[in-house]
Structure 1
Amino acid sequence: MRASILLMILAAGCGRLNEVGRAPGFSPLEGSPQHYAMYAAPFPENAERTAPTDAASLWTASTRASLFGDRRAARRGDILTVVIEIDDKAEISNASDRSRSSDSSMGIPQLFGIPQRLDRKLPEGASMAEAVKTQSASSFAGDGSVARKEKLALRVAATVVEELPNGVLRIEGQQEVRVNYELRELVVAGYVRPGDISRQNEITYDKIAGARISYGGRGQISDVQQPRWGQQITDLVLPF
């Protein structure tokens, strides 16, 4: 039993021991949706759009090579810039107060002389004139408040990884910056409409449907700020 517990502890720590004295490694791009989108064969273009034109002309049928063509991301493998500028502030305050009291009584002073006959058999001081009497009171008071403030300004390049049948584009972007032994990660994903992409080939985060934005890091500083895995387990298991 002790040996199995020791093996579990060693297995859990092996994943961290290989990073001792080393900077955290980057996540591989090979095998990611961005990688497959970049290396996927492009869809065949319309013959009218790719028809040869005079080489001396400033106009060409291709939107990619034209001087005035639309260079916004529109197909799988294209790259666009996601602008993340979050400046949110929320304040919520609630207060409630409730009280209730009730008093009820029931008796049978006279009913064909039956209450008087029952009074003789009841204990001293008891009477059917006040057979039942109840009183109750309750009160409740509650107060709560929430204050949040978030500010984030970032820019990241994302790749169109899929074109949906309705024309919507699915994008994914990942950025990693390593400074000494700390790795900063920025991940963004979601669905965008081609018409929402600006002429500068940029789109703001509030126009991304189902946006998933993650900003964090990993490394020695992040490890120190996190509680040990044993402490996390005890926090979940212990009922007090």
Structure 2
Amino acid sequence: MKHKNIIILSLLFTTAICSQNMSQNAGSSLFSDYKASRVGDAITIIVVESSQASNNAETKTGRSSNLSLSGGFDVNNKTSSSGNATLSTGNDFSGSGSTKTVGVVKTKISATIDSVLSNGNLVIKGSRKISINGEEQMIYIKGIVRPSDIAADNSVLSYNISEAEIVFEGSGIIDNAQKPGWLTKLFHWLF
């Protein structure tokens, strides 16, 4: 009996020392899904952004004025001649303008956890460079993600990122063709 107690105590002691820490070994556990939560962990950002803005303005003004004079004179109770003078002025203005902007962006980009804030939220940063036939497109993303917004496949929708900065930049022949030339820039600067 004494030997059984020693064996049971040694098993309990070994189990207590070698117990599994679920937060450190979640990737190898059979009972939990691994979610990105530590610095350096990868996370997939699904960028689904759409924006729409419109502004309309219309102005109409008008002013008109008329001045009329008429008169005559008599000589020996006879009306001899009369004169009329008329002066008219007018001013009309009509102006209108409208702007409309629509933007839709859909892409996926991988990012890494840069730091973990004291409240558990994750600061993420990521970039991707795509080059096709001399055209380069850079995509940058950064922001703060709540751990509860991370799906089981370690993806986050972009509208769940607070303080999100999503930047698309391009360079190449098409980008250069969309910019005004130096002569056009000079004329705009002068006039």
Describe the superposition over 1:100-122 as per-residue Cα deviations: whole angstroms up to 9, x where unpaired.
99xxxxxxxxxxxxxxxxxxxxx
- 1:68 to 2:31 alignment: yes
Give 5+ residue unaligned stretches, structure 2.
Answer: 1-16, 65-90
Matched, 1:154 2:107: yes
* Aligned counterpart in structure 2 of residue 234 of structure 1, from 182, 186, 190: 186
Correspondence 1:1-240 to 2 at 5 A: 52=18, 61=22, 62-97=25-60, 142-228=95-181, 230-231=182-183, 234=186, 238-240=189-191
User: Once the two structures are superposed, what CA deviation does each residue of 1:139-189 show, in whole Å capped at 9, x if it has no partner?
Assistant: 876533221221221000011111122322111110112222222211111
- Comparing both structures, which one devotes a greater share of its residues to strand? 2
> C-alpha offsets along residues 24-53 of structure 1, whole Å, 9 cap, x if unaligned?
xxxxxxxxxxxxxxxxxxxxxxxxxxx635
8 Å CA contact 2:44–2:110 kept in 1: the answer is yes
Q: Flag the 1:223–1:90 CA change in 2: closer, same or farther, 3 A.
A: closer
Runs of 5+ unmatched residues, structure 1: 1-50, 55-59, 102-137
| Partner SS state of residue 101, structure 2 | strand
The TM-score, its normalising length taken from structure 1, stands at: 0.51
Compared CA separation, residues 77 and 231, structure 1 to 2 (3 A): farther
CA RMSD of aligned residues (A): 3.0
> Given the superposition, is the C-alpha separation of residues 235 and 73 from structure 1 closer, same or farther in structure 2, using an over 3 Å criterion?
farther
Q: For the pair shown, which has the larger CA radius of gyration, 1 or 2?
A: 2
* SS of alignment partner, residue 166 of structure 1: coil
Secondary structure (helix, strand or coil) at the match of 1:144 reads: strand
- Counting aligned pairs with the same residue, the percent is 29
- Aligned residue pairs, count: 148
Q: Normalized against structure 2, the TM-score is what? A: 0.63
Pick which of 209-218 and 92-101 moved more: 92-101
Which residue identity is paired with 1:74?
S
2:71 corresponds in structure 1 to none
